Amino acid sequence: MENLITLWQSSGVAQMASGQFIMLLVGLGLLFLAIRKNFEPLLLVPIGFGGILANIPGADLALSAAETALAQGNTAVLAQMAQLLGLDSGAGLDALKKALGSAPVAVQVQAAEFARDAGFNNGMLYNFYSVAIASGVAPLVIFMGVGAMTDFGPLLANPRTLFLGAAAQFGIFATVLGAVGLSVAGVMDFSIADAAAIGIIGGADGPTAIYVSSLLAPDLLGAIAVAAYSYMALVPMIQPPIMRALTTEQERKIEMVQLRHVSKREKITFPLLLLILVALFLPAAAPLLGMFCFGNLMRECGVVSRLSDTAQNALINITTIFLGLSVGSKLAADKFLDPKTLGILALGIVAFAIGTATGVLMAKLINVFSKHKINPLIGSAGVSAVPMAARVSNKVGLESNPHNFLLMHAMGPNVAGVIGSAVAAGVMISMVRSLTGA
């Protein structure tokens, strides 16, 4: 009988907090968006599923061994944990969790050893997160794969479009200011690191957003990743009104000069040129842009096609599965159901909107100074969100001029946006570290 009671108490229904129930619904909602509405399914299916797994009460899949010991341990275990963490034995659970999170690494190692001796293990998703994201490897490997899938031809044929990719990153920094403003106004409580991580949503680039937030604000990673991928899927809805509002019918009809042929040698040299510029001027962006250039060089050099194929297929797919589940581990109720998440979702869409606007405006500015006019509709593609944003440019362009195919022209700013947000990521990581004295 006692056994039955224990079992019932260990069952999910009895333990489920309302937060976990809400997150279960959120996870199902993400799966619905991914499967029915085709919202970036490659990421949102694993993220949504991981989010559900992370919120199974009593399974503790997203907790480390030490956190599990706090969640499930008896009085003796808690007392010993308190002693390890330098608290008195009557300390509450929340105090213990907080102390564990902010303890020096050596103490965390001791706590983990103690928890393992007491029979607790790391949760499955916690292990995935440690290996895939905390180490930084998964976003970097995905970036390598993206590099191996990227054709810089349209960019090389028209290098001016790099400026569009630069301008659209203003969405990032405006959002940083917005987040800081909310904090100063007392509405939210974002640190400067939080603000920088939130801003990167405006980069419209999933792996970059995950990489930056894993370094600067791991607790916000779940909300940031969900916002980034959701808004990327919403690009066809977010961008067109802004694009139409900022351009005249005449501008939208501009036909652009046919792109010149770009030689194989230019395509091989470009990633090396980019790498060297990064090496000389922006070492903080070296991991992201280094792996990106490596992937692209493997693609273009033509002598390692086996490696390039693997980077574009088996390797990126395997990494995506574990990256998604790992992001899902950050959808645990106690981290995700926080007023900050609402702030992140609100700021994220602002970031997309501003990036779209500044991209379009920059195209109009360039037109003031140059002979070969740019159709400002391709400016919005500078936010990246490859290749969705470029398709949106094409579609809106066709509405005004059914014979005006902007797709290839928009691919230039589109991939420029990837570079731009990686550069912005490097700058922000480097500046936040020097500001916070790390």
Q: Which stretch binds a second copy (CB under 8 A): 86-94, 191-199, 299-307, 335-343?
A: 299-307
CA triple 381-384-385, angle to 5 deg? 100
Q: Contacts with other proteins in 217-256 (CB under 8 A)?
A: none
The whole-angstrom distance between residue 263's C-alpha and the CA centroid of its chain comes to 33
**DSSP letter for each residue of 237-252:** HHHHHHHHHHS-HHHH
Site mask for other proteins (CB under 8 A), range 106-145, x = bound: ----------------------------------------
Q: Contacts with a second copy in 305-344 (CB under 8 A)?
A: 306-307, 309-311, 313-315, 317-318, 320-321, 325
CB 371 within 8 A of CB 256: no
Coil, helix or strand for 430? helix
Preceding amide of 387 cis, omega within 30: yes
The structure tokens listed for 66 are 């030490």
Residues 6+ apart with CB under 8 A from 108: 66, 100
Whole-number Å distance between alpha carbons of 326 and 35: 19
**DSSP letter for each residue of 209-220:** HHHHHHHH-GGG
CB 284 within 8 A of CB 430: yes
- Closest contact distance (angstroms) between CB of 417 and Na ion is 4
Q: Which stretch binds Na ion (CB under 5 A): 132-140, 225-233, 335-343, 421-429?
A: 421-429
CB nearer Na ion, residue 232 or residue 377: 232
CB 339 within 8 A of CB 158: no
Site mask for a second copy (CB under 8 A), range 217-256, x = bound: ----------------------------------------
- Closest contact distance (angstroms) between CB of 203 and Na ion is 4
The whole-angstrom distance between residue 417's C-alpha and the CA centroid of its chain comes to 14
- Closest contact distance (angstroms) between CB of 213 and Na ion is 15
- Closest contact distance (angstroms) between CB of 294 and other proteins is 17
- Closest contact distance (angstroms) between CB of 119 and a second copy is 3
Site mask for a second copy (CB under 8 A), range 52-91, x = bound: xx-xxxxx-x------------------------------
CA triple 188-192-197, angle to 5 deg? 90
| Number of shown-chain residues binding other proteins (CB under 8 A) | 51
Is residue 24 a contact point for a second copy (CB under 8 A)? yes
Among 100, 138, 232, 297, indicate the residue that binds a second copy (CB under 8 A): 297
Q: What residues make contact with Na ion under the rule CB under 5 A?
A: 203-205, 384, 417, 421
